[in-house]
Amino acid sequence: MAETKREIERKYEATEDTPVPDLTRVSAVSEVVDRGVMELDAVYYDTPDLRLAAGGVTLRRRTGGSDAGWHVKFPVAAGVRDEVRAPLADTLPGELAELLRSRVRHAEVGPVVRLRSARDVRHLLAADGTLLAELSVDTVHAERLPTGAAAAWTEIEVELDDGVDPALLDAVGKRLGKAGIRPSAAPSKLARALAETGAEPPAAPAPAKPGTAGAAVLAYVREQAEAIVALDPAVRRDLPDAVHQLRVACRRARGAFKSYRRVLDRDVTDPLGDELKWLAAELGVARDQEVLDARLTARVEELPPDLTLGPVKARLRRRDAALAANARHQALAALDSDRYLTLLDALAALLVDPPLCKAARRDADAVLARAVRDDHDRLGGRIHRALALPPGHERDLALHAARKAAKRTRYAADAARPVLGKPAGKLAKRVKAVQSLLGEHQDSVVARAALRDFGIMAHGVGESAFTWGLLYGREEAVAAAAERELPGVWARASAPGLRAALSR
């Protein structure tokens, strides 16, 4: 059974003769206890083209020490990684292999580096004996596999214990700095071993000339493709908001293909966009259920007890649990499918050999500004058409279509921000307000459909449907308020100066 640990640490350059200063002079540290020397032997695995290392991910099988087993480490921030551990076995445990699938895909993983370390461990303790951090002086011998190229070095590593304020690492680092001990240039032992044995991950090629529309659009698409790959294991680990963020990355990539169709050939990107739409839809079942559950639960909690008639909360909980389990199963089935892996391979291939159109060679400013203006015009047309319809089902559908156009416009402006600067950022912010308002309207439409089903079910089994009807009426009022507010919000997002600024 895998377990996860948040690893917060700092690494420092050292030699075998580097003395560790007295760390009891750090205010929080009362005592430093020598825990002796451990012998560690770790074999690191990767694909032949070092995909894991390129993404800052490490996979190792380690013996020796207190945590022998298989470990996968995912980067979270500088000096912060999530380590997922599984028991020691001869082969890679399936639960860890799943977490690496988006990066490895159809490639095989094999041993690339062996690290043997003598770890001299000291515990930094508080006055009450609580462990604050572990400092180790590691004497490392690295061997590149299968070539046998070798490297050796000594480093100091300070790892924070769970729940301790990270400010302690700053204080320890300051004390080490005063002793002449400097931070390591390498983010990990594996990265250093690869660099010193001549096997660093290859740098990504530049497929388009810098400053061109092609370079700008590809940079944005690459960002979204990397987000999809990185968020996959977060979804599998059921981390908060992971499904939403992965779905957003799919939509942003698909939006870029549509908005910048003059830059990337649609014969290639349209099929990719269809696959991204499929993936977002499969993930959307889980995400939409999360949003609806939270909305209905909040609405019920807002009601006074005398207006909550019947087993309202119990029915919500039972429905939520059943639908959430089914939605997660559907999302994971999509991530485990060959169709998904084929999509990831296709995105990677597009970035290596992009289908650039003639406009891709032009300066980015004019091409991106035109694309954003076109999307903005399209959004305006959809809003005006929706507001011209009478209230009801057809208007709801039209406003939902306008919401999609708002997302596309916002994403196009976000993609253009590195090139167009503040004008694109300002437009994206104003359009986001439109998108949020239309999103509130759509959430109300979805909530009303669910509330109607609840009311019918309650009536059918002889329960009071009063509360469900009351909530339905409140959602109608929410939607009506959003429709009244929309013209003003759109007026701010369509101010003439906003569009004009894009071309300056």
The tens digit of pLDDT for each residue in 287-311 reads 777 788 889 888 988 889 888 888 8
Quick one: tokens of 407? 């997302």
Give whole-number Cα distances, 356 to 147, 351, 352, 415, in Å: 39, 11, 11, 17
Residue 464 has pLDDT above 70, yes or no: yes
Within 13 A of 500's CA, how many CA atoms are on the CB side? 3
Rounded CA-CA distance 33/109 in Å is: 39
Residue 208 has pLDDT above 80, yes or no: no
322-368 confidence digits (pLDDT tens): 677 777 888 999 999 999 999 999 999 999 999 999 999 999 999 99
Of 223 and 292, the one with more pLDDT:
223
Dihedral sign, Cα of residue 236, residue 238, residue 243, residue 249: negative
Q: Which helix (H) or strand (E) holds 3?
A: strand 3-14
Rounded CA-CA distance 432/295 in Å is: 20
Of 417 and 210, the one with more pLDDT:
417
> What are φ and ψ of residue 110, in 5° steps?
-150, 170
CB atoms within 10 A of CB 433: 16
Rounded CA-CA distance 243/307 in Å is: 35
pLDDT at 204: 66
Rounded CA-CA distance 360/217 in Å is: 9
Calculated CA dihedral for residues 36, 28, 4, 145, nearest 10 degrees: -50
Rounded CA-CA distance 53/41 in Å is: 19
8 Å CB contact between 28 and 183 = no
Matching residue, tokens 């209230």: 391
Q: How confident is the model at residue 504 (pLDDT cuts 50, 70, 90)?
A: low
Residue 203 has pLDDT above 90, yes or no: no
pLDDT at 205: 66
For residue 244, the SS3 value is helix
320 contacts: CB under 8 Å, gap ≥ 6: 289, 293, 297
260-278 confidence digits (pLDDT tens): 999 999 999 999 999 999 9
> What are φ and ψ of residue 12, in 5° steps?
-135, 150
Q: Which helix (H) or strand (E) holds 32?
A: strand 31-46
pLDDT at 180: 92
Residue 1 has pLDDT above 60, yes or no: no
Give whole-number Cα distances, 487 to 183, 378, 437, in Å: 55, 16, 11
pLDDT at 500: 82
8 Å CB contact between 427 and 376 = yes
Rounded CA-CA distance 201/103 in Å is: 14
Nearest-CA neighbor of 455 among 473, 442, 438, 441?
A: 473
Rounded CA-CA distance 243/328 in Å is: 10
Dihedral sign, Cα of residue 394, residue 398, residue 403, residue 408: positive
Tell me the mean pLDDT in the region 28-48: 95
> What are φ and ψ of residue 118, in 5° steps?
-100, 115
Residue 231 has pLDDT above 90, yes or no: yes
Question: CB-based burial of residue 484 (10 Å sphere; 0-12 exposed, 13-18 middle, 19+ buried)?
Answer: exposed
Could you give the maximum distance between any two Cα atoms of the chain, in Å?
A: 81
For residue 25, the SS3 value is helix
Q: Which helix (H) or strand (E) holds 189?
A: helix 189-196
Residue 83 has pLDDT above 90, yes or no: yes
β-pairing, 58-63 with 31-46? antiparallel
8 Å CB contact between 256 and 412 = yes
Rounded CA-CA distance 110/145 in Å is: 9
Rounded CA-CA distance 56/76 in Å is: 10
Mean pLDDT of the chain: 92
> What are φ and ψ of residue 37, in 5° steps?
-110, 130
Residue 503 has pLDDT above 80, yes or no: no
Q: How confident is the model at residue 15 (pLDDT cuts 50, 70, 90)?
A: confident
Rounded CA-CA distance 148/117 in Å is: 17
8 Å CB contact between 415 and 368 = yes
pLDDT at 207: 73
Tell me the mean pLDDT in the region 400-428: 96
Gyration radius of the chain over CA positions: 27
pLDDT at 21: 94
